[in-house]
Chains A and B, each alone.
Chain A
Amino acid sequence: MTNFGARLSALPHADRVLLKAMIAAALGLLGLGVALGLMTALARAGLIAPEPDQGYAALTLHSTAAFFYWLYLGQSALLLAFAAADHTGPGRIALAPLAWFGFALMLVGFALNAAGTLAGEPLLYDGPPELATESRGAAGIFYLGYIALALGLIGVASAAIATAFAPKLAGRIGAWSTISFGAVVWAGLLVVSALAALNAFLPAAIWAFGGGTLPIDHSVGWHLLFHNMHYLPLIGTLLTWYVLVGELTGVTSLFGSRFSKLVFCLYLVFVPPTSLYHMFLEPGLAPIVRLIGSLLSLFISVPTVAAFLLLIASLEASARARGARGLFGWIGMLPWRDPAMSAIGMAVVNLAIGGALSFVLIQERLAPLLSDTFFVPGYFHFLTIGAVSLTLLAAFCRVIPALNGGQLRLASLLARLPYALTLGLILFGGAGVLAGLRGMPRRVLDAGYDGASPAVWASLSTWLGVGGAIMTLALALYVGTLLVSLMPGRVRPMPTLTPHALSTMTADAALSKPAWSGPLSVIVLVGAMVALTIVAFRLMQSLPIAAIGGGGH
């Protein structure tokens, strides 16, 4: 592809300022979120003992800053960058004032979330109104934060959609490229999640400010939102891999853009209806709903695996056509010293780990073993940090120098951080998943229960702390280095781009070589899911408890 980075540099000054401001804010919130995450992990490990109010406020703001604001602001910036710099010709962000306004609203949103949390009872990030009856006003401010975030997001996503449409409407292009198409789908899903946020928090806000009754179905609205929140960044992740692989190696899908577009569309079909599985433990859910929920959840893997296979097969085939040998020789031909490459490489690994674990959790019969335990944060940090955040960071490693017309600071350090982060995650997530299997609850500051809890909870919590500290260090270095690279006046001229290692093959020539890495990965992944599921089942069945059929219903 003709260089995405070069086209980003060619955006009008004002557009580049907007993108840089968004990235800086996103990184700042990631930094804050991570610091609070460390605090929570250290409390778990018994190294610090915050007062309950402080501890739960930290947990609340950890998740809002990192999960909502970092991920949404980061996605917003990248989405706008993709839409504006995709096509040849003078790209620019359409409806830029709306994008600025949306961005500002999102920042206001965080301020409100923080103020509400600090002023009242910490509610954790789902903010159940039933816990806020004593501090309704503060809760209302907290809910307003999410509403501002949602409205801001709709503004930014609309600007991105308008940006993608602009060259079409001007007659400069006929059909969208895969990237623009993917960006529009992504923007559409962001709007869906914004609507889900409004659906969850408007009734709560109205109640908090004195109108209406206590919303009793808040948890349902929250689950819908949370579900969209954590699957939706997958489409952005896959699209980013697609763009970055093109940038780094010159290889884009060899299977034609229609196929890629179809894959992106599958997300629209599968993400919203699969929300059900978050409700398995809700009392009163009909068995058939549980079954359908489990089945549908499996389908979420389809577009993700498909996009992965497209990329891997294209890469492997291209590399083979250029002489790669052995089963995995092609991997060695990738530009691993580029920070973006090592980051997306590790993101693939983390997505596989997190994905395999999440497929244990979606089996509704395992819900009584695993729901509400530390298994949940254990696996989802692989996805939110290891896959999604790392992918956003990989993209920023390319986008920041392009916007600044300069060079990334400490690029060789950045190229190594993904390995450290992954190591930390494996300790944190591994300990968390094991503790979860043994029943350690999520969302407590101290799981000691005055000595009544199993000793293994405490020892695994120590590993949580160790892993958490490594993750925090790696992410703090990312945030610091990238923020420094963003600062004006600190940059050197952009070096010549990494030469495209693998390009110049025609699709047909490349595809005449077999490509086994994709199929093998899928076999390994499914094997891991099966094994984990069976292990969890065995564990559950070994517990000295039996439910007895019967009962009136």
Chain B
Amino acid sequence: MPIHRPFTTRRGFLATLSFGAISLYGVWESLDTGAEPAAGASHNGAHDADPAPTAAGHEGHGASDSGTSTKEFERLAREFIARHARADGSVEPLGAAAPISSDDDDMEHGASHGMSHEADAEPDGGDDASVAIDVYLMATQWAYEPAVLHLKAGQPYRFRMMALDASHGASIQLGSGSHVIRLRRGVLVERTMRLEGPGRYLLYCTVYCGAAHDRMSGMIMVS
């Protein structure tokens, strides 16, 4: 004598419902497609609500394992610092735009950093990554070098970062949230990024790296 069961107490219904949270994937997809076409498209308003791609979506090339050793990286970074150091010890990278489609580490040498191109270049001049300026960042226990960077708002920079002794983070506090970057020891991480607004942004380590981990910080001044 079968008794009628409402659908809410049937196995099939419960089993189907168990997959409910998978529907979140649809949301991810829709957020994805919202951002994707904008890649490389209009970017002029720094704070517009437009779902412009943030750093998150496009880091497929996050690690460029071009085999740069820690020694080699340190050498390049020190050269960079020496070249762009200001009197107070902070660093303001100018010019020497590196076409980032090139992976060639050695192009640094050739570039005689004619600062003239950069000096009054239109800051929002476009998304063309090829005008990105190289920035080197070394992370060690427990400091960044350079510790203070002066950057221009709207200017694309190619950050080339490496943790030299242990794993570190190189996260940037941007006001209402942060952009978190993880660096594994000896792995060159490249990100081409643009800071959209002027401000003083805390650079801090987000990977536990020993006793003074919570002292490990730097500052990015954007004007």
Q: Which residues of A contact B (CB under 8 A)?
A: 52-53, 56, 121, 124, 128, 130-131, 219, 254-255, 259, 281-287, 294-295, 298-299, 301-303, 305-306, 309-310, 313, 317, 359, 363, 365-373, 437-439, 441-447, 449-450, 452-454, 508-509, 511-516, 518-519, 522-523, 525-526, 529-530, 533-534, 537, 539-553
Contacts and interface: CB of A to CB of B under 8 A. Distances in A.
B54 A522 contact: no
Interface stretch (B68-76, B86-94, B188-196): B188-196
Contacts of B208: 56, 124, 128, 131, 443
Contacts of A519: 8, 13, 17
A438 B100 CA distance: 31
Contact of A546 (B28, B181, B196): B196
B24 A530 contact: yes
B125 interface: no
Contacts of A508: 2-3
Given A369-B56, A512-B6, A547 B176 contact: no
A545 B20 contact: no
Contacts of B171: 372, 439, 441
Nearest to B26: A530
28 contacts: A128-B167, A131-B209, A283-B62, A285-B62, A301-B20, A305-B21, A306-B18, A363-B24, A363-B28, A371-B180, A372-B169, A372-B182, A373-B180, A439-B177, A442-B206, A444-B213, A508-B2, A519-B17, A542-B176, A546-B53, A546-B193, A546-B196, A547-B54, A547-B56, A548-B192, A548-B193, A550-B192, A551-B100
B175 to A, nearest CB: 7
Contact of A542 (B47, B182, B195, B217): B47
B213 A512 contact: no
B192 A547 contact: yes
Interface in B35-84: 35, 39-40, 43, 46-47, 49, 51-65
Contact of B23 (A284, A437, A526): A526
B218 to A, nearest CB: 10
Contacts of A444: 213-214
Contacts, number: 292
A195 B61 CA distance: 33
B33 interface: no
Contacts of B3: 508-509, 511-512
Contact of B25 (A298, A370, A513): A298
Given A121-B210, A363-B28, A545 B196 contact: yes
Given A298-B21, A545-B196, A452 B65 contact: no
A551 B24 contact: no
Contact of B206 (A306, A441, A509, A516): A441
A439 B206 CA distance: 9
B129 A551 contact: yes
Contact of A544 (B35, B102, B183, B197): B197
Contacts of B191: 547
Contacts of A368: 54-56, 59, 179-181
Given A519-B17, A552-B61, A439 B103 contact: no
Nearest to B62: A283
Contacts of B204: 441, 449, 453
Given A365-B28, A365-B32, A441-B171, A546 B54 contact: yes
Contacts of B4: 512
A438 B24 contact: no
Contacts of A121: 210-211
Nearest to B57: A365
Contacts of A552: 61, 64, 100-103
Given A283-B63, A437-B177, A540 B54 contact: yes
Given A121-B211, A541-B54, A542-B176, 18 more contacts: A130-B166, A131-B210, A219-B167, A283-B183, A294-B28, A306-B15, A366-B56, A441-B214, A444-B214, A449-B214, A511-B5, A515-B8, A522-B20, A539-B176, A542-B49, A544-B46, A548-B193, A551-B61
